[in-house]
Amino acid sequence: MKGRYLMIASVCFIICFIPWEGSPAYGQEMHIGDVMPEIKLNRYMSSGEPIEIKSFKDKWIIIDFWSALCSGCMNSLAQMDVLQKAYPEQLQVILVNNKDRPDLTRQVFEKKGWELPSLLSTTQPLLDDMFPHHTYPHQVWINPEGIIQAITHETYALPQVVKEVLGGQPLAMKLKQDVAGDIQKPLLSMQDGRLPYYYSAITPYMDKVSSGILNDRGNLVYSNQSALHLLQAAYGLSSYTAMLHTRLEVSDNKRSQLVAPPQGSTMDSINAFFQWFRDNTYCYNLYMPENDLKDSKEIMKRDMNLFFEQHLDLAISWETRPTTCLVLKKTNEPVTPADLKGLNALKLENKPIRKIVTFLQVHLKDSGYLIIDETGMMDNVSLSFSGDLNDLDNIQKELQAQGFNLEKATRNLPMLVVTEKLNH
């Protein structure tokens, strides 16, 4: 198969457990500072001798738990490939997949153009017991002496961080803790375990709760989200246009409470990001009878307006503002979808124009412009695109060849405006 090669040792199912001296008992949950037990793992659906973790004792080890249904895992796997190739003598990455069927795993790697010396396992019950987790990716760092140094996020798996670790810098990585089903139930309950009939609540960052959103039969939960994200969700702004529909007319100090700093690529910068996350994210929970859910967004909007005013000393308004945007228009040329072929070709067949606009907005979200439809078209259309779909000039060229054009223009659009509250 052509394409890139992901030459990373992959593990399958456990056939033997031999504790190292000083290691915990069989199947016991592992913690930072524990000695990693010796585990012998057979390669799955491939030939070769079983993998012994002890054989990598002179290397740093990263155990990477992943799932084929996790979009973040795809980026993580690509990064694992980069790290393994960069440090083949000092680092060993071991991939663990205990959720997916082997045929699904195979499809993922074939689609990505990756080839492995062996495909990954769908059964790793012992490693699950040793490193319990709910969200993916989930990574464990083990030093050359076999001591667990970090149980953390994939965020740290970057070349600069590995270079720092190999150079002797002590590991100071955020501990990743999450519990299965941690937001499936209301966050609050009465002392005797009963649930109230109705409540809404905003809490600070919660440990052992993963960031997420749940809307299930009267239980609406946003866990560990920034205040700005909660506000944008209350006003119904989609994730890929939320910032384009938001005006922050506040001081730098207030802005720093609402917008996260860049993660950076060093251990210190990543830790600074996680500290901001802990200090500036919140949980919102609205629990109400299921038949009243139609009012949930209005209630959340009311709650967030009050929270911004009382807790953050900020005022919220929904205003019409003149905004420079990209206007999609029909040219005098006929709509003629390009006949594109190859891996980079993408065809949108028989789609309503609003779907075309959404496609453009998603791919051009970093352009800084909202995209507005002024084609006046009611019929479905078919369009094709190739090349860099995130490049405005390329998209413009593709559209013009098929009877459309994006024009910069000023339009009056609704905006979520955040300002400093006037104190009288």
Supply angle C-alpha 45, 61, 141, rounded to 5.
Answer: 120
Q: Which helix (H) or strand (E) holds 276?
A: helix 267-280
Task: Determine the pLDDT at residue 239.
Answer: 87
Contact between 213 and 227 under an 8 Å Cβ cutoff? The reply is no
Distance separating alpha carbons of residues 328 and 330, to the nearest angstrom = 7
Task: Determine the pLDDT at residue 250.
Answer: 97
Six-digit token pair at 112?
Answer: 């990505």
Would you call 295 helix, strand, or coil by DSSP? Answer: helix
Task: Determine the pLDDT at residue 415.
Answer: 98
pTM of the model: 0.80
Distance separating alpha carbons of residues 331 and 293, to the nearest angstrom = 44
Residue corresponding to tokens 């003149």: 322
Q: Which of 184, 95, 60 is nearest to 134 (CA)?
A: 184
Six-digit token pair at 263?
Answer: 């993660």
Q: Which helix (H) or strand (E) holds 396?
A: helix 392-400
Q: Which segments of the chain have a pLDDT < 50? A: 1-22, 117-123, 181, 342-343, 424
Task: Determine the pLDDT at residue 177.
Answer: 82
Q: What is the DSSP letter of 150?
A: E
Six-digit token pair at 69?
Answer: 């249904």
Task: Determine the pLDDT at residue 184.
Answer: 59
Distance separating alpha carbons of residues 413 and 319, to the nearest angstrom = 8
Task: Determine the pLDDT at residue 272.
Answer: 95
Distance separating alpha carbons of residues 142 and 39, to the nearest angstrom = 14
Task: Determine the pLDDT at residue 186.
Answer: 65
Distance separating alpha carbons of residues 226 and 220, to the nearest angstrom = 16
Residue 263, burial from CB neighbour count under 10 angstroms (0-12, 13-18, 19+):
middle
Tell me how far the alpha carbon of residue 257 is from its chain's centroid. 21
- Which residue segments constitute the domains of the chain, with CATH numbers given? 13-166 (3.40.30.10), 199-312 (no CATH), 320-418 (no CATH)
Task: Determine the pLDDT at residue 160.
Answer: 96
Distance separating alpha carbons of residues 184 and 201, to the nearest angstrom = 16
**Backbone CA torsion sign across 200, 201, 205, 209:** negative
Supply angle C-alpha 187, 189, 194, rounded to 5.
Answer: 140
Q: Which of 251, 198, 26, 10 is nearest to 108 (CA)?
A: 10
Residue 394, burial from CB neighbour count under 10 angstroms (0-12, 13-18, 19+):
middle
